[in-house]
Structure 1
Amino acid sequence: MDAYYPIAGVVLGLIIGSFLATIVVRWPVGESVLKGRSRCDHCKQTLGALDLVPVISYFLRRGKCAHCGKAIDSDHLKIELCAGLIGGVALFAEPGAGGLLGAIFGWLLLTLAALDAQHHWLPDRLTFLLAATGLAASYFGLEPNIMDRLIGGGVGFLSLFLVGWSYRRLRGREGLGGGDPKLLGAIGLWLGWPAIPLVILLAALVGLTSAGVTRLRGGAIASDTSLPLGSFMAITAFPLWIIQTMTGGYIL
């Protein structure tokens, strides 16, 4: 029966991904994702059943709205595919309730990563939900234990908070977004305190790689260029959870 869990995770992920994509597209412009029926982001026409099948609808419509003909935001497709992958991998690593919680961890990180990458915004509502599910995971018998999670939350938040505070005192300007310490704290509540240094190190490496690729493509990178640290931490955290889960609860 365990073989069916990853398949179920992919299907559920694709469905959840459709909702997550709506959050990424609509929240930044102040639109609700809970009120009203699904509609085109351009002409606001209500979508039919054929337009709401994750991934398949995008290709059936050739990436365009059936009513106005304008291009559908590719974020819908990308996030649906990523959410499907997250669901499948999480339930492969941990079949059952633990894997579902891990998938929720990944889906929240995916949404936060997309919002931070595009808008440099880490909404407190999502970050606090991430933190709450991290605490809830300990009651399902998932490692690490509750004490390591609580220490991880505190260490994660304080480490980046102090970095941001010190930078502001020394340079007289903001160098770190206010959502980044909260996000690392929430990740700490999931992975425990031993993982915090590894999250920071790998996020820094992802950031340096991203900056290097941007530079190679001719983009400008300067000392005041804003990089989405939250996205880099989110990208790093979910694979670490997979490794942690498949190796018995602790990375180090």
Structure 2
Amino acid sequence: MFVCIALGYNKIMFIGTFWFIFGVVIGSFLNVLVIRLGTGESVVSGGSRCLSCKRRLHWPELIPLVSFFIFRGHCGHCGSRISWQYPAVEFATGLVFLFIWLRIQQNFQFSIFNFQTIISFLFVAAMASLLIAISIYDIRHQIIPNQLAYPFIVLALFSVVWRLKNWSAFGGGKLAGENLAVGIGLFAFFALLWFVSRGRWMGFGDAKLALGIGWWLGWPLGITAFLFSFWTGAVVGVFLLIFSVPRRLKGKYSLASRLPFGPFLAAGALAAFFVGERAVDWYFRLFF
């Protein structure tokens, strides 16, 4: 019995470590994607270079996450400081991939050779990767690019079609209809905010992102993601206002300063995927 438990635990640790490392590697690619998107540089070809001295990086400098700490956050040639964005995105993507696997293996007897669970994992991992890239780009540029928003919407629509095709005997049509309705409803809400405020309150990219989140998560998780995003956005906004009073007095920060909402939508979507069902169950047990 104890041997079986130990073997099962080792299997979980091995597969979990594999997906974490895979996520770290994908996070490294997402950094390149965000930096090069819109610059005309190819995302998939051309070696990585130092942004300061333009020297092409050698293989020890290309090891995701580890190289940042080996070189103490500096370029190995010119010594310029490297942004913490790189290790943060790589580590966060690794954690997200690990949590996705833990979430999926709750519903399936996960095996690394199980085709169905691998496909499920890769689909959610692709959605999460796009959300992470969208978040970082929105933080850097205050805009959600169509090159990231449209693939996210297409994948979300694919999930709706999959439900309709493969779960028709189990209410798949109803599930697909709910997902479509939630996505359109969230899109309409954010598009209205964008239209009324002329882009001051919300960007149109947020509306497109909300459309994809609604189509992906459906009812009730899409609404849960919406609530999570507004709650976290409100908390962070109040926190920034309180702790930035000295900067506002110096004219460096004002109440009109924009806070990108894309990262909060992305975080809300991931939170809803991971714990949304438990949150909904807790809410209904508490109030109904």
Contiguous gaps of at least 5 residues in structure 2: 1-7, 106-116
Indicate which of 224, 227, 234 corresponds to 2:266.
234
| Distance in 2 of aligned mates of 1:224 and 1:160 | 19
1:194 paired with 2:224, answer no
Structure 1 match to 2:69: 59
| Deviation (angstroms), 1:52 | 1.1
| Distance in 1 of aligned mates of 2:196 and 2:243 | 33
Tell whether the 8 Å contact from 1:153 to 1:187 is kept in structure 2 after alignment: yes
Percent identity at matched positions?
Answer: 27
Tell whether the 8 Å contact from 2:221 to 2:276 is kept in structure 1 after alignment: no
Structure 1 match to 2:139: 117
| Deviation (angstroms), 1:185 | 0.3
Indicate which of 194, 216, 231 corresponds to 1:164.
194
| Distance in 1 of aligned mates of 2:122 and 2:179 | 19
> What per-residue deviation string (whole Å, max 9, x for no partner) do you get for residues 69-114 of structure 1?
1111211111000110011000111142212221222111111111
| Distance in 1 of aligned mates of 2:31 and 2:150 | 19
Structure 2 match to 1:154: 184
Flag the 1:232–1:166 CA change in 2: closer, same or farther, 3 A: same
| Deviation (angstroms), 1:6 | 2.4
| TM-score, structure 1 normalization | 0.86
Flag the 1:237–1:33 CA change in 2: closer, same or farther, 3 A: same
| Deviation (angstroms), 1:29 | 5.1
1:94 paired with 2:94, answer no
| Deviation (angstroms), 1:125 | 1.5
Tell whether the 8 Å contact from 1:150 to 1:192 is kept in structure 2 after alignment: yes
Flag the 1:223–1:213 CA change in 2: closer, same or farther, 3 A: closer
Number of residue pairs the alignment of both structures matches: 246
| Distance in 1 of aligned mates of 2:225 and 2:254 | 24
1:205 paired with 2:231, answer yes
Indicate which of 73, 76, 82 corresponds to 1:72.
82
| Deviation (angstroms), 1:244 | 4.8
Structure 1 match to 2:202: 176
| Deviation (angstroms), 1:26 | 3.0
Tell which deviates more after alignment, 118-127 or 13-22.
118-127
2:157 maps to a residue whose letter is L
| Distance in 1 of aligned mates of 2:87 and 2:123 | 23
Indicate which of 22, 34, 51 corresponds to 1:12.
22
| TM-score, structure 2 normalization | 0.76
Tell which deviates more after alignment, 78-87 or 238-247.
238-247
Tell which deviates more after alignment, 37-46 or 10-19.
37-46
| Distance in 1 of aligned mates of 2:271 and 2:120 | 15
| Distance in 1 of aligned mates of 2:95 and 2:20 | 6
Tell which deviates more after alignment, 235-244 or 9-18.
235-244
| Distance in 1 of aligned mates of 2:231 and 2:76 | 42
Matches within 5 A, 1:27-38: 27=37, 31-38=41-48
Higher helix share: 2
Tell which deviates more after alignment, 191-200 or 119-128.
191-200
| Deviation (angstroms), 1:180 | 0.8
Structure 2 match to 1:128: 150
Tell whether the 8 Å contact from 1:153 to 1:192 is kept in structure 2 after alignment: yes
Flag the 1:245–1:211 CA change in 2: closer, same or farther, 3 A: closer
Contiguous gaps of at least 5 residues in structure 1: none
| Deviation (angstroms), 1:223 | 4.6
Flag the 1:175–1:246 CA change in 2: closer, same or farther, 3 A: closer
2:192 maps to a residue whose letter is L
